[in-house]
């Protein structure tokens, strides 16, 4: 009897394995047909757009509705995907309501092994999901570029125009690793110009585009967790930079998520989402080339009035022109940043949004700029 039970169980397992394999083939076939249906044979897509989702159906709906408002008219240029991690039924049902979107599902039943005690397993699951989704879009579906969004974002009216213009930059300038729609210091009081774009040594994330060639480089060494901080390591991005706008083209409304609402009220809620339409394809973006930008930005920093001393921040409040304040080290930067209310955080020796050690932001939503500069910034900028 014992033997019969074992044989019966083995037969059940074989059947289940066969059914699983059959289901995988069916899913792949459906995905392929779904993608082919979405693609216009006469239009080469600019980029696939993928919304990374997990277990928040209400957030996903808000994100999709925001995207469709502007994507429908350019659907053939920007085919839309939802990639769900896990088997949350409400999220799957919500995703499948949208016939114009291709649904992908990543189900990984293996237990998560964290590297340090007390770590959140969510960060490991997120990293695994990102790798799976990007491998699918770049390698299986062969897209040249992919824009990654998360299920707690709304987009600006010129989001797709911005990325279409940026695609040319990415293709022609190998010193740019990715283009982002996000500015960490994009809170209402620190921004003014909807056309201003910058190079940055700090990876912003939160609505970003990369090319297939960059993904082929990153995929084999993709980390087990904390993928965004990994991209911020100098050993990963090397001498390449990122393009970011002054005014954000995405708004993150995700108060509840893996980061547990960290920094939400101070840094995310006050972000200004761009509300004017810029015709990016008629804008001359050649100034963003490495040499041109370094020269132009260097002149702007050098021409700002230097302020020194322990009361430099106080003096800055009473000036009418651009000013620059030097910080000596990370602790000095954090002290100054805290007084203005901008992000204090550094990763791998780079402050958020910095270019050659310079962090720039507007003063009280005006045209006036504050430049926080390292002791070496002017030399790095060739000034």
Active site residues: 228
C-beta of residue 86 within 8 angstroms of C-beta of residue 107: yes
- Provide the 3-class DSSP secondary structure of residue 353: coil
Closest CA to 258 of 366, 121, 352: 121
Quick one: CA dihedral 369, 370, 373, 379, positive or negative?
positive
Give DSSP secondary structure letters for 74-128.
GTTTS-EEEEEES--HHHHHHHHT-TTSEEEEE---SPP--SSTT--THHHHHHH
Tell me the C-alpha to C-alpha distance, in Å, between residue 97 and each of 40, 103, 265. 22, 10, 32
CB 80 within 8 A of CB 45: no
Q: How would you list the strands of the sheet with 305-307, edge to edge?
A: 305-307, 323-326, 369-373, 359-362
Q: How far apart are CA 172 and CA 57, in angstroms?
A: 38
Residue 112: HSE in the Cβ half-sphere, 13 Å Cα cutoff: 20
């Amino acid at each position: 009897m014992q033997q019969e039970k074992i044989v019966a169980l083995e037969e059940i397992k074989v059947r289940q394995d066969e059914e699983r394999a059959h289901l995988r083939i069916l899913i792949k076939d459906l995905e392929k047909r779904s993608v082919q249906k979405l693609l216009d044979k006469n239009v080469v897509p600019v980029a696939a757009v993928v919304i990374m989702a997990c277990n928040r159906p209400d957030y996903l709906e808000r994100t999709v509705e925001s995207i469709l408002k502007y994507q429908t008219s350019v659907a053939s240029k920007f085919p839309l995907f939802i990639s769900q991690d896990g088997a949350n039924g409400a999220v799957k049902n919500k995703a499948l309501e949208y016939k114009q979107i291709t649904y992908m599902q990543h189900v990984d039943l293996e237990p998560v092994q964290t590297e340090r005690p007390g770590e959140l397993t969510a960060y490991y699951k997120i990293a695994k999901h990102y790798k799976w989704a990007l491998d699918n879009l770049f390698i299986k579906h062969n897209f040249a570029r992919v824009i990654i969004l998360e299920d707690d974002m709304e987009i600006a009216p010129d989001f797709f125009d911005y990325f279409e213009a940026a695609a040319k930059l990415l293709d022609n300038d190998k010193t740019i690793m990715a283009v982002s729609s996000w500015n960490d210091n994009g809170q209402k009081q620190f921004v003014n110009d909807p056309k201003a774009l910058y190079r940055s040594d700090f990876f912003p994330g939160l609505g970003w585009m990369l090319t297939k060639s960059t993904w082929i480089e990153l995929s084999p060494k993709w980390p087990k967790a904390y993928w965004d901080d990994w991209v911020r390591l100098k050993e990963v991005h090397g001498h390449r930079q990122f393009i970011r706008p002054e005014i954000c083209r995405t708004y993150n409304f995700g108060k509840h998520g893996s980061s547990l609402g960290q920094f939400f009220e101070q840094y995310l809620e006050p972000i200004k989402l761009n509300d004017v339409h810029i015709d990016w394809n008629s804008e001359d973006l050649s100034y963003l080339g490495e040499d041109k930008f370094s020269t132009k930005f260097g002149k702007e920093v050098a021409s700002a009035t230097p302020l020194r001393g322990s009361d430099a921040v106080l003096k800055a409040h009473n000036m009418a022109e651009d000013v620059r304040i030097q910080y000596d080290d990370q602790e000095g930067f954090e002290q100054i940043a805290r007084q203005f209310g901008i992000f204090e955080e550094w990763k791998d020796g780079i402050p958020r949004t910095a270019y050659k050690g310079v962090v720039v932001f507007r003063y009280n939503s005006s045209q006036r700029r504050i430049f926080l500069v390292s002791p070496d910034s002017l030399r790095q900028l060739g000034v």
